[in-house]
């Protein structure tokens, strides 16, 4: 069997294992979904009117729903990948990983299985949060099929990038608690992005940080695709962040996995 | 000359300034059972981890199944099966799913995978529990599932790290039976254990590992001859009978407080009979007679004494 065929076959076996875990023990994934959904409802129904006035949309919360949903879709990915870090860290303490290491299988398949499984979970989570958004009044204005595809591609690529980073975080964490703590930036960063309020509304010294961290360009791009707002250079920055983080996370994770286990 | 399934030369491994393996040589002929015997912390698990490609050695060379560990680890992995000390089963999925996972990773077809899974689950008495999550299995069941998973790829060389530690006596005997059946099929087994009895039951050759060094190696009988711990203990309640016995058996060690005598013996029927004959002839009746065969304690006390005080071993 060629190396590529081996990699594909073993990775799909590992993916089946991870999906089996996720299907049988869905509580972690569902718990992580609660954060973005709660925030969505909180900001729309409790703060919505005020926020809407703040972004110049008048005292009708529908303008703020449109503003908020793209950011929360990306936050959902950040939240889901915390689960990735936890489950990778948990998995590494299992004896079966040692068994995998002594088998003539494609070395990276253990991690690739986790990554693909997590990206699929991220997409499902995004769809669920998106459905809640639609249910409370979010509507995409005149997005073309191409823009929908681009939006889907961006979300997938963003999930892939964050997942590889989360896998690395899971591998360096000695236990699930540490993994959960180490992965906190993935849910913390959206709070200081343009997800909830425009970057212009933040203190001047903080604006560059908020503007160029990974979430803001991706959020602005998604807004542009779904709502027709100005994307500008955000598209390229978002793409660069996604590819950069994906490559970094991949290198970091595989190097870490190739080291002798303790 | 038969081939060696495992040949290790001067294996070394340290963690920080703690030396775990300090130049270990291991030679296991094909189709035999080899036991690595030693107490906790002797380096047994580290040796198995190195030979099974889980970790890399700091020094030394080794061939497993004719392949070099350092240059062809993937070829080594294709010939071996490993059952580690801590259960290597996926507790979140069922026993059957664990087996099918192994079949997939060995690239068996769906039918082959189903067939071998059913066969092995039946053989290891797990068919009834096949649809239950492995985390609900008892210690003995987990260990059996672990070995069943190891066998899916029909490995020629099998590593078993303390296969019976923590098992109840019945499960232990079942495990011994399983291991014996493995070698009848021509498989080579390297197992680690802390019990001399287990090594004695199973192994063709034993190496005693202590503080990262091979303290002694040989067949079980050769090893036991190195150990002076075997004896027969006679205990008396009547001091007069005790003194008569002591003068009748000049080679015995005295324990005057317990009124007991220790007569060196290999525990064989012949030696026991000759002792009983002498006691009968002298009209002595002991209140208690126990046969003490060498155990790991004796092996270790003897072998570590050999290392520390070479002069005292001259008898």
Asked if the model's pLDDT at residue B308 lies above 60, the reply is no
Q: What pLDDT was estimated at residue B315? A: 37
Give the whole-angstrom CA distance, residue B171 versus residue A148: 60
The answer to whether A10 touches A106, Cβ cutoff 8 Å, is: yes
Instruction: Give how far A98 is from chain B: nearest CA, Å.
Output: 7
In percent, how much of chain B has pLDDT > 90?
47
Sorted by sequence, the CB contacts under 8 Å of residue A116 that are 6+ apart come out as A11, A15, A18
B72 exposure class (CB count in 10 Å sphere: 0-12, 13-18, 19+): middle
The answer to whether A81 touches A159, Cβ cutoff 8 Å, is: yes
pLDDT-derived band of residue B2, with 50, 70 and 90 as boundaries? Answer: low
Q: Indicate the residue of A10, A98, A261 with minimum beta-carbon distance to B105.
A: A10
CB pair distance less than 8 Å for B89 and A96: yes
pLDDT-derived band of residue B151, with 50, 70 and 90 as boundaries? Answer: very high
The answer to whether A195 touches A189, Cβ cutoff 8 Å, is: no
- Structure ipTM: 0.86
Copy the structure tokens of residue A76: 């959902």
Chains A & B: contacts with CB separation below 8 Å = 61
- Put simply, whether A27 touches B (Cβ < 8 Å) is no
A112 contact residues in B (CB cutoff 8 A): none
The answer to whether B57 touches B15, Cβ cutoff 8 Å, is: no
- Put simply, whether A262 touches B (Cβ < 8 Å) is no
CB pair distance less than 8 Å for A103 and B56: no
Mean pLDDT of B138-145: 89
Q: What pLDDT was estimated at residue B313? A: 35
Mean per-residue pLDDT of chain B: 87
CATH no. for B231-293: 3.30.70
CB pair distance less than 8 Å for B54 and A101: yes
* Chain segment B226-246, per-residue pLDDT in tens: 766 678 888 999 888 898 888
Q: Where are the domains of chain A?
A: 3-258
CB pair distance less than 8 Å for A98 and B54: yes
Helix (H, G, I), strand (E, B) or coil at B13: strand
Give the whole-angstrom CA distance, residue A186 versus residue B24: 47
Give the whole-angstrom CA distance, residue B93 versus residue A74: 31
Burial B173-189 (b: 16+ CB within 10 A, else e): ebbeebbeebbeeebbb
CATH T-level assignment (fold) for domain B4-89+137-225: Rossmann fold (3.40.50)
- Put simply, whether A146 touches B (Cβ < 8 Å) is no
Question: What's the residue count for chain A?
Answer: 262
Q: What is the three-state SS of chain A? A: CCHHHHHHHHHHHHHHHHHHHHHHCCHHHHHHHHHHHHHHHHHHHHCHHHHHHHCCCCCCCHHHHHHHHHHHHHHHHHHHHHHHHHHHHHHHCCHHHHHHHCCCCCCCHHHHHHHHHHHHHHHHHHHHHHHHHHHCCCCCCCCCHHHHHHHHHHHHHHHHHHHHHHHHHHHHCCCHHHHHHHCCHHHHHHHHCCCCCCHHHCCHHHHHHHHHCCHHHHHHHHHHHHHCCCCCCHHHHHHHHHHHHHHHHHHHHHHHHHCCCC
A17 contact residues in B (CB cutoff 8 A): 90, 93, 101
* Chain segment B208-227, per-residue pLDDT in tens: 998 899 988 888 878 777 76
List, by residue range, all CATH 3.40.50.300 domains of chain B.
Answer: 4-89+137-225
Nearest residue in B to A91, CA atom: B90
- Put simply, whether A16 touches B (Cβ < 8 Å) is yes
- The tens-digit pLDDT sequence of chain A (262 residues) is 688 999 999 999 999 999 999 888 888 888 888 889 999 999 888 888 888 888 877 767 888 888 999 999 999 999 999 999 999 999 888 888 989 999 999 989 999 999 999 999 999 999 999 999 999 988 887 789 999 999 999 999 999 999 999 999 999 999 999 999 999 999 899 999 998 888 888 898 999 999 899 999 999 999 999 998 888 899 999 999 999 999 999 999 999 998 887 6
Report which of B155, B163, B156, B196 is spatially closest to residue B179, judged by C-alpha positions. Answer: B163
List, by residue range, all CATH 3.30.70 domains of chain B.
Answer: 231-293
Strand ranges inside chain B, DSSP E: 4-15, 18-29, 33-37, 59-64, 67-68, 80-83, 157-161, 188-193, 205-210, 213-218, 231-235, 253-255, 260-264, 288-292
Q: What pLDDT was estimated at residue B305? A: 55
Sorted by sequence, the CB contacts under 8 Å of residue A251 that are 6+ apart come out as none
């Amino acid at each position: 069997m060629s190396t590529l065929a081996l990699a594909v076959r073993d990775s799909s076996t590992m993916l089946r294992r991870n999906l089996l875990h996720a299907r049988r023990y869905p509580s972690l994934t569902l718990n992580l979904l609660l954060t973005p959904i709660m925030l969505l409802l909180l900001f729309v129904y409790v703060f919505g009117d005020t926020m809407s006035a703040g972004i110049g949309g008048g005292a009708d919360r529908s303008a703020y729903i449109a503003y908020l949903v793209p950011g929360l879709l990306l936050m959902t990915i950040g939240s889901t990948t915390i689960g990735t870090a936890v489950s990778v860290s948990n998995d590494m303490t299992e004896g079966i990983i040692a068994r995998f290491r002594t088998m003539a299988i494609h070395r990276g398949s253990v991690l690739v299985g986790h990554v693909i499984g997590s990206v699929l979970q991220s997409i499902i989570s995004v769809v669920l949060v998106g459905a809640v958004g639609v249910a409370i009044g979010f509507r995409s204005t005149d997005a073309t099929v191409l823009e929908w595809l681009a939006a889907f591609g961006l979300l997938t690529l963003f999930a892939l990038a964050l997942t590889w980073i989360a896998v690395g975080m899971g591998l360096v964490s000695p236990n699930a608690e540490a993994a959960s703590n180490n992965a906190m930036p993935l849910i913390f960063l959206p709070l200081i992005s343009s997800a909830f309020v425009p970057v212009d509304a933040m203190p001047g010294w903080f604006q560059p940080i908020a503007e160029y961290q990974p979430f803001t360009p991706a959020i602005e791009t998604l807004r542009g695709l779904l709502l027709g707002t100005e994307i500008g250079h955000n598209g390229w920055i978002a793409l660069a962040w996604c590819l950069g983080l994906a490559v970094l996370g991949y290198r970091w994770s595989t190097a870490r996995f190739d080291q002798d286990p303790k | 000359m038969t081939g060696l399934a495992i040949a290790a030369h001067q294996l070394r491994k340290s963690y920080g300034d703690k030396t775990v393996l300090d130049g270990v040589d291991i030679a296991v002929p094909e189709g035999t059972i080899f036991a690595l015997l030693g107490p906790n912390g002797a380096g047994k698990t580290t040796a198995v981890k190195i030979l099974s490609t889980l970790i890399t050695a700091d020094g030394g060379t080794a061939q497993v199944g004719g392949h070099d560990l350092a240059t062809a680890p993937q070829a080594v992995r294709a010939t071996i099966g490993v059952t580690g000390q801590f259960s290597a089963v996926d507790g979140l999925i069922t026993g059957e799913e664990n087996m099918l996972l192994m079949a997939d990773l060995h690239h068996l077809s769906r039918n082959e995978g189903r067939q071998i899974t059913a066969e092995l689950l039946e053989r290891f008495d797990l068919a009834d529990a096949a649809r239950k999550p492995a985390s609900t299995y008892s210690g003995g069941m987990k260990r059996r599932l672990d070995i069943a998973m190891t066998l899916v790829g029909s490995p020629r060389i099998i590593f078993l790290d303390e296969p019976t530690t923590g098992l109840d006596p019945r499960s232990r005997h079942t495990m011994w039976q399983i291991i014996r059946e493995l070698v009848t099929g021509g498989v080579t087994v390297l197992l680690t254990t802390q019990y001399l009895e287990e090594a004695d039951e199973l192994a063709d050759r034993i190496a005693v590992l202590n503080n990262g060094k091979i303290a002694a190696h040989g067949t079980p009988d050769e090893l036991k001859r190195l150990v002076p711990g075997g004896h027969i203990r006679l205990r008396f309640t009547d001091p007069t009978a005790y003194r008569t016995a002591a003068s009748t058996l000049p080679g015995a060690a005295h324990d005057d407080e317990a009124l007991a005598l220790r007569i060196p013996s290999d525990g064989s029927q012949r030696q026991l009979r000759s002792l009983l004959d002498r006691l009968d002839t002298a009209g002595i009746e002991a209140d208690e007679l126990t046969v003490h065969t060498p155990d790991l304690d004796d092996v270790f006390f003897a072998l570590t004494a050999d290392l520390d005080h070479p002069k005292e071993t001259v008898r």
